[in-house]
Structure 1
Amino acid sequence: MFRTALRNVLAHKARLLMTVLAVMLGVAFVSGTLVFTSTISDASQASSRKGFDNVDVVIKPSDNTQSTPGARSPLDHKLLDKAAGVPGAASATGTVSGFTAIADKSGKLIGEGFSTSGSNYFPGADGKDARYPMRDGAAPKGPHEFALDAHTADRGGYKVGDTVRISVDGPVREQKLTGIFTTDDGTVAAGGSLALFDTATAQKRFAAPGEFSEIDIKAAPGTSQTALKDAVEKILPKQGATATTGKQLVNEQAKFIATSMDGMKNALLAFAGVALFVGTFIIANTFTMLVAQRTKELALLRAVGASRRQITRSVLIEALVVGTVAAVTGLLAGIGIAAALRALVGATGAKVPDGPLVISPSTILISLLVGTVVTVLAAWLPGRRAAKIPPIAAMNSVHATATTKSLMVRNTIGALFAGAGTAAVLTATGMSYSGSTRAIMGAGVGLLLIGVLVLTPLLSRPLIALAAPVLRLFGISGILARQNAVRNPRRTAATASALMIGLMLITGMTAVAGSAQQAIDKMATASLKADYMVSMASRTPLSPDVAKKLASTDEVTASSPLRNSPARIGTTTEFLTGVNGKDFGKLTQLDFSEGALGTLSGDRAVVDDSTAKEKGWHTGSRLPVTFEDGKRGTLAIGGVYQRNQIIHGIILDNATLAPHQKHITDMQVMVKTKDGATAASKDKLVTALGKNPAITVADKKDVSGDIAKTITLMLNMLYGLLAMTVIVAVLGVINTLAMSVFERSQEIGMLRAIGLDRRGIKQMVRLESLVISLFGGVLGIGLGVFFAWATGELIKATGQLSTYETVLPWGRMGLFLALAAMVGVLAALWPARRAAKLNMLQAIKAE
């Protein structure tokens, strides 16, 4: 039986090619994803480890120090001196860091967001900082000097002695470049920038005079990291600081890098998973047709003594061989994809750390297992079905049709699954939001999808029948195409299901994304009267000088900075939001369920409904508060407003909050201008701020777009997934039509003999392909619309997007249907040409 199985594989090489391609695509994406993410992760970890070469123990503030009102960082010069004198310590370095934007000579930001950082140059006894060896020039001294990493200096075209425009917290500063240094910093290696100031200047800009972000200690020869850590812990204050070994930090960093790669890995693996899932229909379809064509052969094997188990095993051996070939090919293709992805990322301008391609044994094993297991599982049902055919019945029939009983059982099971799934989804949409609601919704979606997949053969007849009036316009070719499409409902269903799944996902997500975007736009329009929101590009705190500059600009009629400050209310720490109480009402339009906004001044505050409900607060409630500086006071709740993605929390007047803040910084500034949100108004604001590359001036559309950025990213990824699905679906339709042409060779020869020309044969095959593809497209879009509605009800139940309403993207749905039609047209090109080229006499004689 093993030799028979191998002979069958070799005898049907062309017919199995599409199956090999479908499996290979899925495996290639699995192996490519694993190799690519492992390569980037390992290279990033290696680069990160270099940054800890001279660090054996690190002292950092404890997690609660920054959020505890009145708390001061214990990492000062006194602790630094103690750390340097610890037994076993060779040296101690105080580090302070934060965001620093570097402009190129045209005024554009070098680097992106959080990757543009600044720190301090901390010279040792020899006057040099071993972490940052100077390539050119000297270390910075004084508030108007700085040094820059070599990579950024080269990108910006800067040399020692140049004056460079930089920004730390908003205002543009012109600094003299005194030195260019080299570094192993992983952020710089990934394309970021690093600026260095003298310690006093860095402390003033990033923390507070005399304070450090961390203290790095190097062990003396012969002292272990653990022993040094034990010694360091003896000098630490009882609260506010922790000591960690360099090895622990390396491990934590490695874990962080691996975790940060999980999102990309999971997204790419999702593509591969859907491709493989869609590929299972092609595999099952291929083996079903191969088994049907070999019915007499299998019956003869049964007649001469082969058991049912041996027949099934022979089919599975064929699948194993095909799966192994596809898996090995996919693994090799995946390695190529990984190399291409790394080159592509580098070509976009992002700097990828150097390192070899990482092909781990687990990647090889997973790729091979995925390819073989998926293929064997998909072929199991056709193999089992082949073994159940009685030998005598099989010898009398070339094609064993499904019995009435089996079709009835299938339809009953499909109806039960679909009904249960629909009921579960409808139940979930009527429940209040919770973890169980999500679980019920997920289970319902899964059951409904399975039910529809099982019922697809039953649905094919009535849905394809709807196309009959149009097909009649093509004459006999159209009539034959419709009859061929419904001749084998199972095959038609399996072929259409591949496209159905892809279009279901993309239609549903497009509708949800479009609806969410519209809801966010409504929210921004409804809650904001401000024309612009001004903030740092990195989302780091903004200097209060920016708000003062904007307020003094003639174009601005009202403005308010938004400030955050931790405070203890009762037993928990809450963040207070400070605003310009006089102008806040001119810049926002909040819906109040209790009280009103009024004028924010003194101890009066307003709070969002979610926080008020959680804490049990109401209008008139008086809250005892411990402010950031440790002083106590009372806030009176004057109103409860409806929370949204833009404005939420406890809001009070900045005049009340500012006296209690250690360092006054703004998160963003709301601005209303004379002429509204126009290009001219925006240009005036940008000019007033010194054309600062570190600051963004965003209108309402920009604000809503920024909030919806994650949705847009997900949607773009899903469009990539659709492309993958379409490729596999095309292979499936080609496979089905090619085998259908082979099976109907005699029939096609007869049609040619009685007068149907080659053009008519081609048209018949094309129309059949078009009908099958549109059938899958209609089912997919219909399911996508249903799931989009159900997801929308779930989103509304969360209360996060109160303005959410399901909006169907009619234009894109029409485009998706046109795409399904194009799949049908393209997939039919080769099978139609092959059918038309058949010799009619040889075809009539074929069995």
Structure 2
Amino acid sequence: MSGPGGGAPIPHERPFRATRLRERAVRAVGHRPGGGRGGGRAAAGALLADARRHPGRVVLTGLAVLVATFFAAGTLLLGGTLSTTLQARSVVTPAAAAAVVRGGDLDAAVVDRVARTPGVTAAVGVWTGTAPVGGAAGVGSWTVTSDPMTGPLTRLAAPPVAGRLPTADDEALVPAATAARADVHPGSVLTVGGAGDATRTLTVTGVVDLPVVGTDTIVTTPATVAALGGTLRQIDVAGGAPAAVASAVRARLPGDVVVRTGDEQRAAERRDGSATATAVVTGVSVFTGLALVAAVVVVASTFRILLTQRRTQLALLRCVGARSGDLVRAVLAEAAVSGLVAGVLGAGLAIGAGEIVVAVVGGGPLVVSWGGTAGCVLLAVVATVVAAVGPALAAGRTSPVAALGEAATSEAGTSRRGRRAVLATVLLVVALALAAPPLAGVADGAVGLVAAAASGLVTFAALVALGPVMMSGLAATVGRLVTAVGRAPGRMAVANAAQVPRRTAATVTVLTLGVGLTSALLVGVASADSSAQRSISQRLPSAVQVSAPDPDATLARLAAEPSLRVRQDGDAVLVDPAPGVDDAALRAAVGDALGPRSAAVVVYTADVRADATAELGVLRGVGLGLVGMTVVVAIVGVAVTLTLSVTERTRETGLLRAVGLTRGGVRAMVAWEAACSALAAAVLGAGLGVLYGVLGIRALGLAAGGVSVPVGQLVGLAVGVVAIAVLAALGPAVRAGRVPPIRALAA
């Protein structure tokens, strides 16, 4: 039985308890005083048997690795599926093209010469260009591309979704995205400006489903695009045997013209699509690697907690013959099992999620590389074993005498402060050396960015080394705020965090990595946006810029509108709204002044700003999604650490309940403990993130217009991280609140 108040056991009881525990260990291990291989195998068997009896422990140990494996396998699936999809979309040369002609000085005469080549049944030029478009769509500059519309060399994979195919040179198609943006439909009339003063009036006859992104496009006949001053990019050639057709065409053309078989051209287009997918996946893999690093830190902390809680069991194994090396190998074997389970579950979840995403968004089938998936599982095992090396070595140093008592069974205290400080100092010097070239402007572009990223990783390593030492200052900084707001539960939370500095440091450092990456991204995007807006203001000094072949006449027409203020700047006419004129009235006035058949190119500054903001918004969203992997792993680490901490402090919690702390107070204590770690990580991560965000901007040469620090977004990030950490602590807090006071009296 326990002593009064749930304290240490009554002295005469301890030998009996140690005897019972030793008997259980002997039954599990088998008494082999000499140790050796038998003791090692038996120790591993005992620990693995304990893992089977407590599967939740295995799940908690590998939960962070499970999440990281999910992202790693997801990246692999993304790469394979994206590569296949992009390859399919990148192949634009028709399957019927036996040969293609590219490069050199191509024109309509070359198309005729190729068409008259023996063995050639058809030759079609692929013309593209850019032209100002007016009429029903308003005014602006569109992409104009050609297609024969019918025959084996058409690039239209499906009939129009509305209307019909053009049958004359004064007719055209528009993609569905263009039709929606510009409010164009079959029957609309477009005025297209060509080379010089040439213009063409085209009637839209149909809407087609083409993968055109971001650019308004017209598809019309090759003759029309050629007349509008387009460029002949390629000649598709149909005929007999591809090699024979290519050879015959090559013999009739100058040496600077490149002739390929259709298969060669389609393979080149397929490679281009694959290269794009590879670049995307490489970028995603970098952030997946950071998430895996975060998972290793979390798993190392988790193993340390679990092995500390099992200190008596490890000591008993030493008593019955297990050597120090036996325990190390047994712990690593348990880590391998945990990593294997987490890896298989993570990969399986990634495949399931991939199937759901493909089914929802459409596209090609999910491409699963079973060899790559097995590699992800192996990586999970290796990462978990690596994370367990430090805790395993500490477990191997467990003294057999620890089986006779329960003292020193926590992570309280910090060891080797001097060594940690020296290591952290060395790492910080290396980080400063790496940051110096981009900071001084000596290294820029990709080299500077790599140097900045390497400096950030070394700084994170220094933070991991110095973390337990830094936790002593937690109570004096962030802890004061938590104590002031949280009162008694807050004070106890700060005390709990400071009592286990290594555990708290692991949580804080991983959260700091996620917050730092996010902060750096926000600073980079804000600075790029500020630079882009400044550049737009310099290039487009008015609300509207109109470029026309006859600027004087255009100026006169626009000046006749009383709601406009106009001036001329070279060949461009600059237009601003009169006082009290809103954007809609401004656009209507410009359209009325120019007329429906104007060949003028009109640029609205507000649209350019909106496009730039939208592009940066997409960049911000993608970046946040990538760094979110690390944040998710960090939040999982908070939940796992608090869950194990609550289990470890069951008797302490029961004692607090016995002396009057309510369930709500216990829950608040656990929540404030999570908030304390998250707040420290938010402050530290935001500071480092701003620093490396500025460094990245300088490395990319985007700091000429100054650096913008989005204070509001960073404050929102800090609040969000704290809130999410508190939500992650909800489960452990509820569990802690359910501990009855009687548990303080249990052995």
The equivalent of 1:373 in structure 2 is 382
CA spacing shift, 1:814–1:44, aligned 2, 3 Å: closer
CA spacing shift, 1:15–1:52, aligned 2, 3 Å: same
CA spacing shift, 1:818–1:402, aligned 2, 3 Å: closer
Native 8 Å contact 2:132 2:601 kept in 1: no
1:129 Cα deviation from its structure 2 partner: 6.6
1:216 aligns with 2:205: no
1:500 Cα deviation from its structure 2 partner: 1.0
SS in 2 for 1:237: coil
CA spacing shift, 1:456–1:157, aligned 2, 3 Å: closer
CA distance in 2, matches of 1:232, 1:331: 51
The equivalent of 2:46 in structure 1 is 4
CA spacing shift, 1:345–1:268, aligned 2, 3 Å: farther
The equivalent of 1:118 in structure 2 is 145
Moved more, 672-681 or 773-782: 672-681
Query: What do the CA deviations read for 1:684-708 (whole angstroms, capped 9, x no partner)?
Result: 2244456799998555455455456
Give the letter for the 1:121 counterpart.
P
SS in 1 for 2:325: helix
The equivalent of 1:465 in structure 2 is 476
Native 8 Å contact 1:92 1:215 kept in 2: yes
The equivalent of 2:528 in structure 1 is 516
The match for 1:144 among 152, 170, 175 is 170
Query: What do the CA deviations read for 1:167-215 (whole angstroms, capped 9, x no partner)?
Result: 655899654466x699xx9747x9999865444323202538xxx4432
1:145 Cα deviation from its structure 2 partner: 3.1
Counterparts of 1:240-251 in structure 2, within 5 Å, are 241-251=257-267
The equivalent of 2:499 in structure 1 is 487
Moved more, 713-722 or 519-528: 519-528
The equivalent of 2:33 in structure 1 is none
1:356 aligns with 2:371: no
CA distance in 1, matches of 2:686, 2:154: 62
Query: What do the CA deviations read for 1:401-431 (whole angstroms, capped 9, x no partner)?
Result: 5887633212321122124323543564234
% identical aligned pairs: 28
Native 8 Å contact 1:36 1:341 kept in 2: no
CA distance in 1, matches of 2:539, 2:229: 33
CA distance in 2, matches of 1:449, 1:837: 38
CA distance in 2, matches of 1:101, 1:672: 18
1:734 Cα deviation from its structure 2 partner: 1.9
The equivalent of 1:781 in structure 2 is 686
Normalising by structure 1, we get a TM-score of 0.72
SS in 2 for 1:243: strand
The equivalent of 1:803 in structure 2 is 705
Counterparts of 1:273-422 in structure 2, within 5 Å, are 273-343=289-359, 345=361, 352=363, 355-392=364-401, 396=405, 397-399=407-409, 406-422=416-432
CA spacing shift, 1:152–1:343, aligned 2, 3 Å: farther
Native 8 Å contact 1:523 1:803 kept in 2: no
Give the letter for the 2:74 counterpart.
G
Counterparts of 1:426-441 in structure 2, within 5 Å, are 426=436, 428-434=438-444, 437-438=448-449, 440-441=451-452
CA spacing shift, 1:238–1:401, aligned 2, 3 Å: closer
Query: What do the CA deviations read for 1:697-725 (whole angstroms, capped 9, x no partner)?
Result: 55545545545655433322233345444
SS in 1 for 2:228: helix
CA spacing shift, 1:793–1:841, aligned 2, 3 Å: same
1:755 aligns with 2:654: no
CA distance in 2, matches of 1:177, 1:94: 22
Moved more, 21-30 or 719-728: 719-728
CA spacing shift, 1:446–1:456, aligned 2, 3 Å: same
CA distance in 2, matches of 1:100, 1:678: 29
Give 5+ residue unaligned stretches, structure 2.
1-40
CA distance in 2, matches of 1:749, 1:148: 72
Structure with a larger share of its residues in helix:
2
CA spacing shift, 1:76–1:761, aligned 2, 3 Å: closer
1:834 aligns with 2:739: no
CA distance in 1, matches of 2:456, 2:157: 59
CA distance in 1, matches of 2:441, 2:184: 61
CA distance in 2, matches of 1:773, 1:759: 21
Query: What do the CA deviations read for 1:200-243 (whole angstroms, capped 9, x no partner)?
Result: 323202538xxx443222232xx3x334323322211244x221
Task: Number of aligned residue pairs: give it.
Answer: 691
Query: What do the CA deviations read for 1:263-313 (whole angstroms, capped 9, x no partner)?
Result: 443454345333333222221121111111111212222333333333222
CA distance in 2, matches of 1:687, 1:49: 43
Query: What do the CA deviations read for 1:484-516 (whole angstroms, capped 9, x no partner)?
Result: 110110000111222111111112222232233
1:845 Cα deviation from its structure 2 partner: 1.8
CA distance in 2, matches of 1:468, 1:15: 30
CA spacing shift, 1:693–1:406, aligned 2, 3 Å: farther
Counterparts of 1:426-825 in structure 2, within 5 Å, are 426=436, 428-434=438-444, 437-438=448-449, 440-470=451-481, 471=483, 474-526=486-538, 528-533=540-545, 544=549, 549=554, 552-554=557-559, 555=564, 557-559=566-568, 580=571, 671-673=574-576, 675=578, 679=583, 680-688=585-593, 698-700=603-605, 702-704=607-609, 706-707=611-612, 710-721=615-626, 723-794=628-699, 798=701, 801-804=703-706, 806-825=707-726
SS in 1 for 2:124: strand
CA spacing shift, 1:708–1:366, aligned 2, 3 Å: farther
The match for 1:228 among 221, 245, 252 is 245
Give the letter for the 2:509 counterpart.
S
CA spacing shift, 1:274–1:117, aligned 2, 3 Å: farther
Native 8 Å contact 2:132 2:192 kept in 1: yes
1:163 aligns with 2:159: no
The equivalent of 1:82 in structure 2 is 113
The equivalent of 1:659 in structure 2 is none
Native 8 Å contact 1:762 1:833 kept in 2: yes
CA distance in 2, matches of 1:229, 1:817: 63
Native 8 Å contact 1:55 1:246 kept in 2: yes
CA distance in 1, matches of 2:341, 2:220: 59
CA spacing shift, 1:493–1:692, aligned 2, 3 Å: farther
SS in 1 for 2:357: helix
Native 8 Å contact 2:566 2:575 kept in 1: yes
The equivalent of 1:627 in structure 2 is none
Provide the aligned C-alpha RMSD in A.
4.1
CA distance in 2, matches of 1:428, 1:191: 34
The equivalent of 2:230 in structure 1 is 207
The equivalent of 1:57 in structure 2 is 99
SS in 1 for 2:145: strand
CA distance in 2, matches of 1:201, 1:815: 54
Native 8 Å contact 1:96 1:206 kept in 2: no
The equivalent of 1:93 in structure 2 is 124
SS in 2 for 1:553: helix
Give the letter for the 1:739 counterpart.
L
CA spacing shift, 1:693–1:118, aligned 2, 3 Å: farther
CA distance in 1, matches of 2:391, 2:343: 21
